[in-house]
Amino acid sequence: MNKKIMEEHRKTILLTASKVFAEKGYYNTRISDIAEKLGVGHGTIYRYFKNKHHLFDQLLNFVVSGISEIIKSEDPCVAVTIDDYYKQMARIGWSLFHFFAENRELANVIFYFEAISISRQDKRTYKRIENFSHTLEEYNAQYLQNGIQKGFLRKDTPVQETALVINAMVFEAIRRIFTLKEKDWNKSAQAWSKTILDLVTRGIYKRVNADLQSS
Amino acid sequence: MNKKIMEEHRKTILLTASKVFAEKGYYNTRISDIAEKLGVGHGTIYRYFKNKHHLFDQLLNFVVSGISEIIKSEDPCVAVTIDDYYKQMARIGWSLFHFFAENRELANVIFYFEAISISRQDKRTYKRIENFSHTLEEYNAQYLQNGIQKGFLRKDTPVQETALVINAMVFEAIRRIFTLKEKDWNKSAQAWSKTILDLVTRGIYKRVNADLQSS
Amino acid sequence: MNKKIMEEHRKTILLTASKVFAEKGYYNTRISDIAEKLGVGHGTIYRYFKNKHHLFDQLLNFVVSGISEIIKSEDPCVAVTIDDYYKQMARIGWSLFHFFAENRELANVIFYFEAISISRQDKRTYKRIENFSHTLEEYNAQYLQNGIQKGFLRKDTPVQETALVINAMVFEAIRRIFTLKEKDWNKSAQAWSKTILDLVTRGIYKRVNADLQSS
Amino acid sequence: MNKKIMEEHRKTILLTASKVFAEKGYYNTRISDIAEKLGVGHGTIYRYFKNKHHLFDQLLNFVVSGISEIIKSEDPCVAVTIDDYYKQMARIGWSLFHFFAENRELANVIFYFEAISISRQDKRTYKRIENFSHTLEEYNAQYLQNGIQKGFLRKDTPVQETALVINAMVFEAIRRIFTLKEKDWNKSAQAWSKTILDLVTRGIYKRVNADLQSS
DNA sequence: TATGAATGAGCTTTCATTCAT
DNA sequence: CATGAATGAAAGCTCATTCAT
């Protein structure tokens, strides 16, 4: 068969799999559930994927490489003005929102809930997820470090911890936005984005209080 | 008294179950794994729990009621000075840390990773988790609302979103702290606590920048 | 002519099938293994053979008719001198060696090991193999009977049993010779031939002992 | 459960498995066939044997150790008179008959037909069977060597080849005797034994002819 | 005619659950 | 009460076979 058609089929299967996984969870999804949803025989899926775990693996690949691409395209140390710095922060968040907007199911399945549970079965997958988490954290940490060096951020910012909690906020927001059924994610994504950026940059205390607090 | 012994056994089983679930994940844990770790016959577990899902259900109960107790004991609208307000925020976080310190496994397994995946099987459980999440969010939202009313927080703080991301940070911190094997969680918990409190109250921007930003 | 080409293809497939069967065994051979070795699509095989079992069936045909031809061309009662008798025995053995030399794979796969196991599935095949075994045995028995009648063999020779064990020796020898990879089977076949002929005619006892034994 | 009862069950399952394997062949036997014949659930079999191949493995063990015991109890070099030598030969054959008389199915299943085909799947099993075959051959070869040294056998006896064909005869006889349904194997075994012993010691030629032949 | 994508019957195996002891 | 032997539903996966191209 046409290589191109094969590739399309792979993608269709993968997409459907991610939907069913998102709906029922990995362990509660039968290969035949996916096949049924696709309207094909379950044997067909095995022509494209070695086994059930392989399906998950490919989805994981997709997320990992998608996000990797985003952070690769943004040098965490490039900003020289605080305005650039802020804009880059916003841009990266927005890219992530975009990525999951185009792959809504993945927000749910892969990212956070299923992945770690599944990876318990399989050392290799576990390592991959661990590495990926670490990469994300490290990336954010570099970004913060740069902010400190450039004098944008407070010197006493605990880099590692802050990197982690910021990531947590972003991914929680992603989960919220794309788990909801509403088609128009744009507006709510903007709200979330602003919330997180404001929280990160200014905190929620009124300034006068913040001054008192820090004095 | 027999009843008392029964209750002890239940707890022992539940504790062990949570450990094994934490280590292998719910779906990768066999009833016999738990029994083996307990050193009892696997039939015994069925004298205390109706089935495997029931074990999970009870663990969920435990977490839900534990956290519920914490928030019940802290009126989110009680603070009148900003100092009280800050201290309460710190105190609630610390109580959560304490709770998971005494039930380390629950931090990992139940609370974020497995729960939602498992609940996909079972509408009732799903609803419970949803409700509980909502409760936590609502509680935090009330707390923030109070902060605004009392004039501690900026008026433009988006209450719902902020409530959610703060929760996300806290639970991510909990997962980090108690997933690590180190016995002494106290010091790292303090670091995390400070990170989150600082981030929430002041943000990470230098004040001079923050002033510029907000002007 | 088309018919001719078809027939060639059939033979090529059959040859390859026998090789793969010999290597992996009937049940561990996939149709696609054979197709792959042939460098054709696996659907193609079904244009020449009804199904997998049919392939085996044809190979069995080939062996049966090949050996049948050999024994048909040698009247078991024709020898009148003991020299003729001996030479015929040698000649028949040698013809068998030749047949399997030209179809090495068949020595291994079909002929002893797989055939009976496969035929368990299929009454008709089972009967055929049984009949064929019987034919071989009967042929040899006639040959021995003739030897007794002509006064070449001891009168007390148990015809049926002897026929069987001689066959067993010959086919074991065939298996040994053609299972080995060495190209030059001629020399080793001669050794085996001599071993069996000597054993059959004289036994392995020293004559003086043989005399004692039989007295 | 009682260790003894467990062991009995294992044996019962193994026995039944060997019967079904003998009847239908390994690859045509479903685990559920064995379970059905036993009147138990098919899951039960997995409590006693890791998997289907393990069943075969244990049967192979049984045959290998049974036959090994027989040959271990008979030093192939012990005979000093030709009478001892002959008697030992008869005795060994008879022991083999006995062994398979008590395990009739094994004659069919394990010995020669299924074993090699099955072992194609599994290198380890293949090696074991190869080793075992080699052991048997070597044992017989030693026995023959001793016969030559002691002056019982002709000096020009080709030891390896003769060892092999004698084994082939014996195992063919075993297959014949125990594949038949008749309960009373004793008489036919005696006939076979005599046939083989006579063939081996004297050949089937009349003595006068043998003399001529060898002159 | 050749192909190989699609299919699903049919197998092995797992493991939560039951229940006789 | 505790046990663990027995069970069989239910899943993953294979591969001979079909048939549209």
3-state secondary structure of A77: coil
Q: Do B120 and A157 touch (CB under 8 A)?
A: no
Contact yes or no, B with A (3+ CB pairs under 8 Å): yes
Looking at residue D182, its amino acid is E
How far apart are the C-alpha atoms of B162 and D98, rounded to whole Å? 85
Is the pLDDT reported for residue A211 higher than 50? Answer: no
Q: Which residues of chain D have pLDDT under 70?
A: 1, 109-113, 207-215
pLDDT at position D215: 35
Torsion of CA C100, C103, C108, C110, to 10 degrees: -100
Residue type, C105: E
Q: Which residue is nearest to nucleotide E3 (CA to C1')?
A: C41
Percent of chain C exceeding pLDDT 70 equals: 93
Q: Could you say which of A28, A86, A199 has the minimum Cβ distance to residue B121?
A: A28
User: Are D210 and C213 a contacting pair at CB < 8 A?
Assistant: no
pLDDT of residue C209: 42
The answer to whether D57 CB sits below 7 Å from nucleic acid chain E is no
Residue B166 confidence (pLDDT) above 90? yes
CB of A43 nearer than 7 A to strand F = yes
Q: What percent of chain B has pLDDT over 90?
A: 71
Three-class secondary structure of residue A122 per DSSP:
coil
- Point out the nucleotide closest to B53 (alpha carbon to C1′): E16
Quick one: CA torsion of C48, C51, C52, C57, rounded to 10 degrees?
-80
Q: Quick count: other Cβ atoms within 10 Å of Cβ C10?
A: 14
pLDDT digits (tens, 9 = 90+) for A95-154: 999 999 999 888 877 666 678 888 888 889 989 999 999 999 999 999 999 999 999 998
**CB-CB under 8 Å, C194 with D202:** no
D153: three-class secondary structure by DSSP = strand
C27 touches strand E (CB under 7 A): no
DSSP output for A48-66:
H-SSHHHHHHHHHHHHHHH
Chain F positions within 7 A of any protein Cβ atom are 1-20
Q: Who contacts D69 (Cβ-Cβ below 8 Å, separation ≥6)?
A: none
- Nearest residue to nucleotide F21, by CA–C1' distance, is A1
pLDDT, residue D121, reads 85
Question: Could you read off the pLDDT of B59-117 as tens digits, one per residue?
Answer: 999 999 999 999 999 999 999 999 999 999 999 999 999 999 999 888 877 766 778 88
Q: What pLDDT score does B207 carry?
A: 63
Can you give the pLDDT at residue C179? 82
- Return the pLDDT at A95: 97
Nucleotide nearest to A47 (CA to C1'): E5
Q: Which 46-105 residues of chain A approach strand F with CB closer than 7 Å?
A: 46, 50-53
Cα-Cα-Cα-Cα dihedral sign, residues D202, D208, D211, D215: negative
Inter-axis angle of helices D207-214 and C185-202, nearest 10 = 140
In this predicted model, what pLDDT tens digit does every residue of C185-197 receive, in sequence order?
A: 999 999 999 999 9
**For residue A166, what is the nearest residue in chain B, using CA coordinates?**
B169
On whether the CB atoms of residues C190 and C93 are closer than 8 A, the answer is no
The burial of A96, by beta-carbon neighbours within 10 Å (0-12 exposed, 13-18 middle, 19 or more buried), is given as buried
Please work out, in degrees rounded to the nearest 5, the angle formed at the alpha carbon of residue D64 by the alpha carbons of D62 and D67: 100
CA atoms within 13 Å, Cβ hemisphere of A46: 7
Strand F–CB A134 distance below 7 A: no
Substitution target from A204, A207, A214 for chain B, most B beta carbons within 10 A? A204
Separation in Å: E9 C1' and C32 CA: 19
Average pLDDT over chain A, rounded to whole? 90
Is residue C123 scored above 90 in pLDDT? Answer: no
> Distance, angstroms, CA D180 to C1' F6?
36
Residues C34-55: pLDDT tens digits?
999 999 999 999 999 999 999 9
pLDDT at B30: 97
pLDDT category at C205 given cuts 50, 70, 90 is: confident
Alpha carbon distance A9, B72 (integer Å): 53
- Looking at the predicted structure, is the pLDDT value of residue C96 above 90? yes
pLDDT of residue D205: 76
Nearest nucleotide to C49 (CA to C1') is F17
Q: Which nucleotides of E are covered by protein (CB under 7 A)?
A: 1-20
Please answer yes or no on whether C121 and D147 come within 8 Å at the CB atom: no
Contact D210 C201 (CB under 8 A): yes
Give pLDDT tens digits for A11-32. 999 999 999 998 899 999 999 9
Kindly determine whether the C-beta of residue C41 is less than 7 Å away from any atom of nucleic acid strand E: yes
Between A203 and D128, where is the model more confident? Answer: D128
Q: Are A36 and A43 in contact (CB under 8 A)?
A: no
Shortest CA distance to D139 belongs to which of D194, D62, D77?
D77
The pLDDT assigned to A213 comes to: 42
The answer to whether residues B178 and B185 touch, using CB atoms and an 8 Å cutoff, is yes
- What is the distance in angstroms between the Cα of C1 and the nearest Cα belonging to chain D? 40
Computed from CA positions of residues D194, D195, D198, D201, in that sequence, does the dihedral angle turn out positive or negative?
negative
CA–CA gap between residue B164 and residue C111 (Å, rounded): 75
Say whether the CB atom of C118 is under 7 angstroms from strand F: no
For residue B41, say whether its CB is under 7 Å from any atom of strand E. no
Output the pLDDT for position C94.
Answer: 95
Q: Is the CB of D32 under 7 A from strand E?
A: yes
Q: What pLDDT score was predicted for residue C183? A: 80
Nearest nt to the CA of C32 via C1' is: F15
Q: How far apart are CA D28 and CA C120, in angstroms?
A: 8
* Distance to chain B for A86, nearest Cα, Å: 10
pLDDT value for C180: 79
Residue B7 distance to chain A (closest CA, Å): 30
Residues of C in contact with D171 (CB under 8 A): 168
Q: Answer whether 0.85 is exceeded by the pTM.
A: yes
Out of A117, A200, A211, closest to residue B117 by CB: A117
- Looking at chain A, list the stretches that DSSP marks H as alpha helix, in order from N- to C-terminal side: 3-24, 31-38, 42-48, 52-72, 82-101, 104-108, 115-119, 123-149, 159-179, 185-202, 207-214
